[in-house]
């Protein structure tokens, strides 16, 4: 899915979302229409990547085994978290360099740039954001 | 609205479970034939078919199942429409059928649902089910479906001190209810300890907190008031049919411990039926994971937000108690062939109101609640007799 990844590079690589020019609502991922006021006057807004853990889980049974194409670079168990960014929007992401015992709701985290998945040994590698404890 | 009422006049379903010897089409045909037979109508009186199905393409590599199932059921050339809304496909199919009759266009249609899930490995089905969430921003980074509900559960436990044991009690109750249901996938009594000690799937969700991966089909015949009164002694009236949408991703919701679409659909259903929670005797709720039943009880207003776990612990959702929930066994124990679940809930309501359910609750009015994904679609129906 090269084009699919290419299209989303800004959001995957730099947490680029959007801001409504009318009512200042912020979105991640970017939204072409403001869901609050309906405005289509939207500009890109890159989020800094600092935030805190709203909730999280340790995925013990992932879906790597059967995946013919795209394979996550880390096998289960891995930690998935919903992070509330400092600017307001929330994002779902994997935690990196972190053990389940270290996780707690409210923990401060920051975004890092990591390898997410790869399509076999010779296929495309997808990079993107993960979060680490700050 | 001035249009007449709409009723369920026939119901039929396959057994739910790992049905190795039946494919997608055979399952759907069996349910359709049983529903028509139960209605007493001639099959030539059926004017349209609606089929809820989430993902026949990924599960069985067969699309275009609307006509395939109509034709295989001997119902061609009537129009047949497949309806997809992830795990809410069944209830949305029922709603489309209801609207078609309510509009005056048809006098008799079938609302069906089917899913054939066990032809792929369980890892693959986990992947397929994750297509009900955002591919780009949830599934592709490793958020499985149990993982999403696990994050809701953890938040609920954090905010309201809901315990894992309280969630386990949902599973224990629904397994007990399924013991009497010959159509159920899991007819096995379990204890709280069994749930607590079952394999971890996505903390705090364990294997016995999850509905199983099932094959199955269900169908109901929907009729106009005039035809229903003529053809049937015990029509079950659809008093409300409401549906709401929300963001597909959990992280785009304001509140993670409430499914807003459930609350909105619930309020609209009560408005349509001119009734309130006090008029409802029994519930069939969407319990794909045990936390989902707790959320539904709260979001539909049967208990204050945060008190759902306690309601279950106090036994108030048992058969014979204040508000029986999932007397069929629910998705949790009856089984969850995705597209069929919403229709199977309507069948349980039908049997309860006719008085021929396997666990009779002597109900006058029943509410069913079906959710798609992690809450992006919610459908609420109210049935009366």
pLDDT band at residue A69 under the 50/70/90 scheme: low
CATH number at residue A15: 2.40.50.840
Within a domain: B125: no
First CA to last CA across chain B, in angstroms? Answer: 20
Q: Identify whether the C-beta of residue A90 lies closer than 8 Å to the C-beta of residue A28.
A: yes
Residue range B343-354: mean pLDDT, rounded: 98
Interface test with B, best of A25, A60, A104, A131 (most B CBs within 10 A): A60
Within a domain: B10: yes
Within a domain: B279: yes
The pLDDT assigned to A68 comes to: 57
Q: How many whole angstroms from its chain centre is CA A68?
A: 23
Q: How many domains does chain B have?
A: 2
Threshold 0.90, pTM exceeds: yes
Residue range A108-124: mean pLDDT, rounded: 89
What range does the domain containing B174 cover? Answer: 133-211+240-384
pLDDT band at residue B310 under the 50/70/90 scheme: very high
> Does A125 score more than 90 pLDDT?
no
> Does A123 score more than 90 pLDDT?
no
Of A54, A55, A80, the CB nearest to B142: A80
B-chain CB neighbours of A56 within 8 Å are 151, 154
* The two structure tokens encoding residue B100: 């078609």
Q: A70 in contact with B at a CB cutoff of 8 Å? A: yes
Cβ contact B141–A94 (<8 Å): yes
CATH number at residue B152: 3.40.47.10
pLDDT band at residue B210 under the 50/70/90 scheme: very high
> Does A78 score more than 70 pLDDT?
yes
Interface test with B, best of A1, A61, A99, A119 (most B CBs within 10 A): A61
Q: What tens digit of pLDDT does each residue of B34-54 get?
A: 999 999 999 999 999 999 999
Q: How many Å lie between the alpha carbon of A24 and the closest alpha carbon of chain B?
A: 16
Q: How many Å lie between the alpha carbon of B38 and the closest alpha carbon of chain A?
A: 41
Whether residue B249 sits in one domain with residue B230: no
Of B121, B124, B200, the CB nearest to A60: B200
Residue range B330-337: mean pLDDT, rounded: 98
Chain B segment 241-300 residues within 8 A of A by beta carbon are 249-252, 256
Cβ contact B123–A8 (<8 Å): no
Whether residue B184 sits in one domain with residue B280: yes
Residues of B noted as catalytic: 87, 336
Q: B154 in contact with A at a CB cutoff of 8 Å? A: yes
Cβ contact A90–B252 (<8 Å): yes
* Burial tier of A87 (Cβ tally within 10 Å: 0-12, 13-18, 19+): middle
Cβ contact A55–B130 (<8 Å): no
Q: What tens digit of pLDDT does each residue of A84-101 get?
A: 999 999 999 999 999 999
Whether residue B142 sits in one domain with residue B43: no
Helices then strands, each counted (H, E), chain A: 2, 9
In percent, the amount of chain B with pLDDT more than 90 equals 97
Within a domain: B34: yes
Whether residue B168 sits in one domain with residue B299: yes
Q: How many Å lie between the alpha carbon of B247 and the closest alpha carbon of chain A?
A: 10
Of A63, A100, A117, the CB nearest to B144: A63
User: In chain B, which residue's Cα lies nearest the Cα of A69?
Assistant: B140
Cβ contact A100–B202 (<8 Å): no
Whether residue B198 sits in one domain with residue B98: no
- A2 or B354, which is more confident: B354
d(CA B223, CA B35): 12
Complex ipTM, two decimals? 0.95
Cβ contact B155–A105 (<8 Å): yes
User: In chain B, which residue's Cα lies nearest the Cα of A100?
Assistant: B203
Q: B163 in contact with A at a CB cutoff of 8 Å? A: no
Whether residue B316 sits in one domain with residue B176: yes
Whether residue B349 sits in one domain with residue B220: no
Q: A107 in contact with B at a CB cutoff of 8 Å? A: no
Q: B81 in contact with A at a CB cutoff of 8 Å? A: no
Within a domain: B127: no
> Does B1 score more than 60 pLDDT?
no
Residue range B291-311: mean pLDDT, rounded: 98
User: In chain A, which residue's Cα lies nearest the Cα of B126?
Assistant: A63
Whether residue B312 sits in one domain with residue B183: yes
Q: A6 in contact with B at a CB cutoff of 8 Å? A: no
Q: What secondary structure, in 3-state letters, does chain B show? A: CCCCCEEEEEEEECCCECCCCCCHHHHHHHHHHHHHHHHCCCHHHCCEEEEECCCHHHHHCCCCHHHHHHHHCCCCCCCEEEECECECHHHHHHHHHHHHHHCCCCCEEEEEEEECCCCCCHHHHHHHHHHHCCCCCCHHHCCCHHHHHHHHHHHHHHHHCCCHHHHHHHHHHHHHHHCCCCCCCCCCCCCHHHHHHCCEEECCEEHHHECCCCEEEEEEEEEEHHHHHHHCCCCEEEEEEEEEECCCCHHHCCCCCCCHHHHHHHHHHHHHCCCCHHHCCEEECCCCEHHHHHHHHHHCCCCCCCCHHHHHHCCCCCCCCCCCECCCCHHHHHCCCHHHHHHHHHHHHHHHHHCCCCCCCCCCEEEEEEEECCCCEEEEEEEEC
* The two structure tokens encoding residue B383: 């049935």
> Does A65 score more than 90 pLDDT?
no
Q: How many Å lie between the alpha carbon of B118 and the closest alpha carbon of chain A?
A: 14
What range does the domain containing A122 cover? Answer: 2-133
d(CA A30, CA B231): 54
d(CA B103, CA B117): 34
Whether residue B227 sits in one domain with residue B287: no
A-chain CB neighbours of B144 within 8 Å are 59, 61-63
> Does A64 score more than 70 pLDDT?
no
The pLDDT assigned to A72 comes to: 84
Whether residue B337 sits in one domain with residue B282: yes
Nearest to B295 by CA among B261, B323, B329: B261
Q: A96 in contact with B at a CB cutoff of 8 Å? A: no
Q: B360 in contact with A at a CB cutoff of 8 Å? A: no
Q: How many domains does chain A have?
A: 1
Work out whether strand A108-118 and strand A125-133 pair parallel, antiparallel, or are unpaired. Answer: antiparallel
Within a domain: B24: yes
A-chain CB neighbours of B136 within 8 Å are 4, 8, 11, 29
Within a domain: B311: yes
Whether residue B155 sits in one domain with residue B258: yes
Q: How many Å lie between the alpha carbon of B207 and the closest alpha carbon of chain A?
A: 10
Work out whether strand A16-20 and strand B282-284 pair parallel, antiparallel, or are unpaired. Answer: unpaired
Within a domain: B188: yes
CB atoms under 10 Å from CB of B255, counted, come to: 10
Last residue of a domain, one of B179, B203, B237: B237
């Amino acid at each position: 899915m090269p084009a699919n990844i290419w299209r989303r590079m800004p959001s995957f690589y730099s947490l680029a979302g959007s801001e409504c020019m009318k009512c200042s609502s912020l979105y991640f991922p970017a939204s072409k229409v403001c869901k609050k006021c309906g405005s289509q006057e939207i500009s890109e807004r890159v989020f800094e990547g600092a935030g805190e853990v709203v909730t999280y889980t340790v995925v013990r049974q992932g879906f790597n085994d059967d995946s013919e194409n795209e394979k996550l670079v880390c096998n289960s168990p891995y930690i998935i978290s919903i992070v509330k960014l400092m600017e307001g929007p929330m994002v779902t992401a994997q935690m990196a360099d972190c053990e389940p015992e270290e996780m707690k709701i409210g923990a401060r985290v920051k975004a890092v740039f990591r390898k997410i998945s790869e399509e076999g040994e010779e296929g495309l590698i997808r990079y993107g954001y993960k979060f680490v404890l700050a | 609205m001035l249009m007449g009422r709409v009723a369920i006049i026939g119901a039929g379903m396959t057994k739910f479970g790992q049905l190795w010897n039946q494919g997608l089409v055979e399952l759907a045909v069996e349910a359709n034939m049983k529903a028509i037979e139960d209605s007493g109508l001639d099959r030539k009186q059926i004017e349209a078919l609606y089929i809820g199905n989430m993902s026949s393409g990924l599960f069985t590599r067969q699309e275009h199942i609307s006509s395939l199932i109509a034709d295989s059921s001997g119902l061609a050339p009537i129009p047949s429409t497949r309806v997809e809304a992830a795990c809410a496909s069944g209830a949305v199919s029922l709603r489309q059928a209801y609207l078609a009759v309510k509009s005056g266009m048809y006098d008799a249609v079938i609302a069906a649902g089917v899913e054939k899930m066990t032809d792929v490995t369980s890892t693959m089905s986990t992947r397929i089910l994750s297509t009900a969430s955002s591919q780009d921003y949830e599934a592709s980074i490793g958020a499985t479906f149990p993982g999403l509900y696990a994050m809701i559960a953890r938040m609920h436990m954090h905010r309201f001190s809901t315990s894992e044991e309280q969630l386990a009690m949902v599973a224990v109750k629904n397994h007990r209810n399924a013991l009497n249901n010959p159509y159920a996938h899991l007819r096995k009594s379990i204890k709280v300890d069994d749930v607590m000690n079952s394999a971890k799937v996505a903390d705090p969700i364990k294997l016995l907190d999850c509905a199983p991966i099932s094959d199955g089909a269900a169908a109901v015949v929907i009729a106009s008031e005039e035809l229903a009164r003529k053809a049937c002694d015990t029509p079950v009236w659809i008093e409300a049919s409401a549906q709401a949408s929300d963001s597909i991703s959990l992280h785009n919701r304001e509140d993670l411990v409430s499914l807003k679409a459930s609350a909105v659909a619930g309020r609209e259903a009560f408005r349509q039926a001119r009734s309130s929670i006090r008029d409802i005797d029994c519930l069939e709720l969407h319990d794909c994971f045990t936390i989902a039943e707790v959320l539904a009880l709260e979001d539909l207003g049967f208990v204050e937000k945060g008190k759902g776990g306690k309601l279950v612990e106090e036994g108030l959702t048992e058969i014979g108690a204040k508000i029986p929930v999932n007397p069929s066994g629910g998705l949790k124990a009856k089984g969850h062939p995705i597209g069929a679940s919403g229709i199977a809930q309507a069948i349980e309501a039908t049997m309860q109101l006719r008085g021929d359910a396997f666990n009779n609750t002597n109900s006058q009015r029943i509410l069913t609640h079906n959710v798609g994904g992690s809450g992006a679609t919610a459908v609420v129906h109210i049935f009366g007799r």
